[in-house]
């Protein structure tokens, strides 16, 4: 199946140094067999992988408008834009627990930080949605938000090998979140550390 090969190709490709800061991101939910539309440098997509095939696959597509000037304190790659102010590790002394909670809270309030919006496409939905990657502290939260935004009847099932899938409880279709990174490879969401 095309999805199988797709997934095996993503699993075999090494986790690239994905730098969300200066790549454009697109999230897509796709059914097996549907070809990816031409996308900007990095694309994130959610592809369904179950055996039940939908003849008419709609598509949700996501692309991001990231701010390339925003600096990442942990970016090892040197191709990030130079930071206007270098962040010192561990300063100001705010606990990591609080930092994560602030990220949650900032996502829902009028954001103090620049939002990293990413378009999300889901196969079978009539229009796209945008999510703010800054608002979530981890993949679990992102998936939960996608679940909220799209289908209330989706549940998230976590598998033993740390893969995450969105499952449509109504008809059992599994949707696998994937994205296309800057090299144009389709990657399974969750391999690279969140930040």
Query: Which of the ranges 1-9, 84-92, 124-132, 171-179 carries the binding residues for another protein, by CB under 8 A?
Result: 84-92
SS3 164: strand
Interface residue with another protein, options 140, 163, 185, 191 (CB under 8 A): 140
Judge contact between 32 and 1, C-beta under 8 A: yes
Q: Residues 5, 44, 147, 96: what is their CA dihedral angle, to the nearest 10 degrees?
A: 120
Instruction: Give the nearer residue to another protein in terms of CB position, either 5 or 113.
Output: 113
Interface residue with another protein, options 13, 57, 72, 104 (CB under 8 A): 104
Query: Which of the ranges 28-36, 136-144, 146-154, 181-189 carries the binding residues for another protein, by CB under 8 A?
Result: 136-144
Task: State how far Cα 174 lies from the chain centre.
Answer: 17
Interface residue with another protein, options 9, 77, 87, 153 (CB under 8 A): 87
Query: Which of the ranges 2-10, 55-63, 89-97, 146-154 carries the binding residues for another protein, by CB under 8 A?
Result: 89-97
**DSSP-assigned letters across all residues of 46-94:** EEE-SSSPPSS---B---B---TT---TT--STTSPPPSSPPPTT-S--
Interface residue with another protein, options 35, 86, 89, 170 (CB under 8 A): 89
Instruction: Give the nearer residue to another protein in terms of CB position, either 88 or 170.
Output: 88
Report angle CA 88, 102, 82 to the nearest 5 degrees.
35
């Amino acid at each position: 199946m095309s999805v199988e090969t797709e997934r095996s190709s993503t699993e075999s490709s090494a986790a690239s140094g994905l730098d969300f800061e200066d790549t454009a991101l697109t999230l897509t939910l796709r059914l097996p067999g549907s070809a990816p539309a031409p996308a900007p440098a990095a694309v994130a997509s959610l592809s369904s992988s179950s055996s039940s095939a939908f003849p008419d696959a709609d598509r949700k597509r996501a692309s991001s408008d990231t701010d390339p000037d925003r600096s990442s304190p942990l970016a090892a790659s040197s191709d990030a834009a130079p930071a206007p102010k270098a962040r010192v590790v561990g300063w100001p002394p705010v606990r990591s627990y609080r930092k994560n909670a602030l990220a949650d809270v900032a996502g829902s309030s009028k954001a103090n930080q620049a939002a990293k919006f990413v378009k999300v496409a889901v196969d079978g939905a009539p229009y796209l949605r945008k999510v703010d990657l800054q608002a979530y502290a981890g993949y679990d939260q992102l998936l939960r938000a996608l679940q909220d935004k799209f289908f209330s009847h989706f549940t998230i099932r976590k598998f033993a090998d740390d893969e995450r899938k969105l499952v449509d409880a109504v008809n059992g279709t599994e949707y696998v979140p994937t994205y296309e990174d800057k090299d144009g490879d389709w990657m399974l969401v969750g391999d690279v550390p969140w930040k």
